[in-house]
Amino acid sequence: MSSATVDEVVSKKYEFGFFTDIDADEAPPGLSEDIIRFISAKKKEPQWLLDYRLKAYRHWLTLEEPRWPKVDYPQIDYQDVIYYSAPKRPEDAPKSLDEVDPKLLETYEKLGIPLHERAALAGIAVDAVFDSVSVATTFKETLKEAGVIFCSFSEAVQDHPELVQKYLGSVVPHTDNFFAALNAAVFTDGSFCWIPAGVRCPMELSTYFRINAAKTGQFERTLIVAEEGAYVSYLEGCTAPQRDENQLHAAVVEIVCQKNAEVKYSTVQNWYPGDENGKGGIYNFVTKRGACRGDNAKISWTQVETGSAITWKYPSVILQGDNSVGEFYSVAVTSNMQQADTGTKMLHLGKNTSSTIVSKGISAMRGQQSYRGLVKVNKGAEGARNYTQCDSLLIGDRCGAHTFPYIEVKNPTAQIEHEASTSKVSEDQVFYLRQRGLSEEDAVSLIVNGFCKEVFRQLPMEFAVEAQALLAVSLEGAVG
């Protein structure tokens, strides 16, 4: 390092060193222990959580940003990022749909998003517009009766600190990777969900989520715990396009699944992908992992990834309990200049554990996509089984699809099956459908939806319909 740069770094540090204005709505750009203390103080966090953040931060300083993913983006200046800004005040939000970008509303229409949800999604202060408050209250009542805790992460820290402390970082430790360490240091909010033993969560945790928590943070933290014999189906994100001034996103999701419990986690990710040249799109670096702690536990990840300029994401399952089951169903679309390096890790530790991976990658325009999957069978995992199916569909001839399957087997009784295919949307198929009266875009979207059928089948019903529409919207202009 030249002495000039050293000076710069030191002066920057110095600059932040005096940042203690707890009343500020926004932290100045940059990351330091002071900033972390500021965030923690803002959120009135207990000491143990501040200590956790600081530990993560100190570890993060020792790490290098990973360069192995097959994605290309300019160097991120982590000292140029704002790590805390207060939630927007309701008076700053648009007052009615008239103030919302008509283009956005048009997309909601195309996606078939119910009318009453559009206002909330567009960021209009919900209670000012329609009576979803009562809807939300009913949801809350129903969940409370069942003993389910479902709230923001910040609320959980205040109201259920013992649960948060017990499970936070237990699946994705702060040392896990560069982005996970960063998230652990600076996460601002997210969701917390706890299902007590023997309880089947009485509702899909989706509609509620969409109305009330559509605003996700830049460094989101989610923790889901299903105690023995519990069940929950959780849906993150929504098909509506999401914009954010912050380009860098690094979320962490942890799932703990005890004996005989089941967690179904579905994601629809539609962050702004940038323009045709990839300008302005979101960088999405996500660490998602679930642990099947007890016997017969089951975790399913289903994801539909259509947004972001850069996607770096490998939802994984640690199969500790005997007979535990891990599933990963994924549809990822890369169009225009989007790049995605995504896949899964299935780690077999327990006996007779089984995992299924179905990955469907669609590339169009100049989109680039890599599937990266690891199936690891440890010595003790007698009778482990994995089935992997990894299909790529290309639209046009300027896009690319790549597959990097890693298989590590240390137990000879394991059965591993891997199938892969690459196909193109053929002119013959498109013409055939057009001859039956479908427009070119409808034809392509029908073919693409057919390609993704096995994954869409895993989504909650009404969401599957929206996901299909989303695919069509994402691929608009990709043909012809």
Partner 1 sequence: MLSIQNLHAEVDGQPILKGLTLEVKPGEVHAIMGPNGSGKSTLSNVLAGRDEYTVTQGSVTFRGEDLLDKAPEERAQAGVFLAFQYPVEIPGVGNSYFLKTAVNKKRAAEGKEELDAKGFLKLLKEKMALLEMDAKFKSRDLNVGFSGGEKKKNEVLQLTMLDPALAILDETDSGLDIDALRIVSKGVNSLRDKEHSFIVVTHYQRLLDHIEPDFVHVLKDGRIVKSGDKSLALELEAQGYAGIADAA
- Chain residues binding partner 1 by CB under 8 A are 426-429, 431-440, 442, 446-447, 449-454
Helices and strands in the chain: count of H runs, count of E runs? 15, 18
With respect to partner 1, which residue has the nearer C-beta, 131 or 476? 476
Shortest Cβ 420–partner 1 spacing (Å): 15
Distance (Å, rounded) from C-alpha 468 to C-alpha 367? 19
With respect to partner 1, which residue has the nearer C-beta, 88 or 434? 434
Residue 406's CB is within 10 A of a number of other CB atoms, namely 11
Shortest Cβ 343–partner 1 spacing (Å): 21
* φ, ψ of residue 186 in degrees (nearest 5): -125, 5
Shortest Cβ 450–partner 1 spacing (Å): 3
Q: Which residues of 96-135 are buried (b: 16+ CB within 10 A; e: fewer)?
A: ebeebeeebbebbeebebeeebbbbbbbbbbeebbebeeb
Residue 49's CB is within 10 A of a number of other CB atoms, namely 16
User: 429 Cβ partners below 8 Å, 6+ apart?
Assistant: 443, 447
Distance (Å, rounded) from C-alpha 33 to C-alpha 394? 46
Shortest Cβ 465–partner 1 spacing (Å): 13
With respect to partner 1, which residue has the nearer C-beta, 277 or 423? 423
- DSSP per position, 2-29: -HHHHHHHHHHHHHHHT---TT-SBPPS
Shortest Cβ 291–partner 1 spacing (Å): 33
With respect to partner 1, which residue has the nearer C-beta, 181 or 433? 433
With respect to partner 1, which residue has the nearer C-beta, 243 or 434? 434
With respect to partner 1, which residue has the nearer C-beta, 223 or 425? 425
With respect to partner 1, which residue has the nearer C-beta, 282 or 467? 467
Which residue, 212, 264, 214, is CA-closest to 238? 214
Q: How many CA atoms lie within 13 A of 426 on its CB side?
A: 5
Shortest Cβ 239–partner 1 spacing (Å): 20
113 φψ region: left (φ > 0), alpha (ψ -120 to 50), beta (else): beta
- DSSP per position, 374-388: EEEE-TT-TT-EEEE
With respect to partner 1, which residue has the nearer C-beta, 120 or 473? 473
Shortest Cβ 395–partner 1 spacing (Å): 15
CA angle 232, 235, 237 (to 5 degrees): 160
Shortest Cβ 427–partner 1 spacing (Å): 7
CB 226 within 8 A of CB 201: no
User: What are the distances in angstroms from CA 317 to CA 9, 72, 348?
Assistant: 40, 27, 9
With respect to partner 1, which residue has the nearer C-beta, 31 or 395? 395
With respect to partner 1, which residue has the nearer C-beta, 116 or 434? 434
Q: Which two tokens stand for residue 202?
A: 């009485």
With respect to partner 1, which residue has the nearer C-beta, 122 or 447? 447
CB 478 within 8 A of CB 364: yes
Distance (Å, rounded) from C-alpha 464 to C-alpha 466? 5
Shortest Cβ 432–partner 1 spacing (Å): 5
Shortest Cβ 233–partner 1 spacing (Å): 24
Shortest Cβ 105–partner 1 spacing (Å): 23
Query: What SS3 string covers 273-319?
Result: CCCCCCCCCCEEEEEEEEEECCCCCEEEEEEEECCCCEEEECCEEEE
Distance (Å, rounded) from C-alpha 458 to C-alpha 455? 5
Shortest Cβ 442–partner 1 spacing (Å): 8
Q: In the beta sheet, which residues pair with residue 298?
A: 262, 325
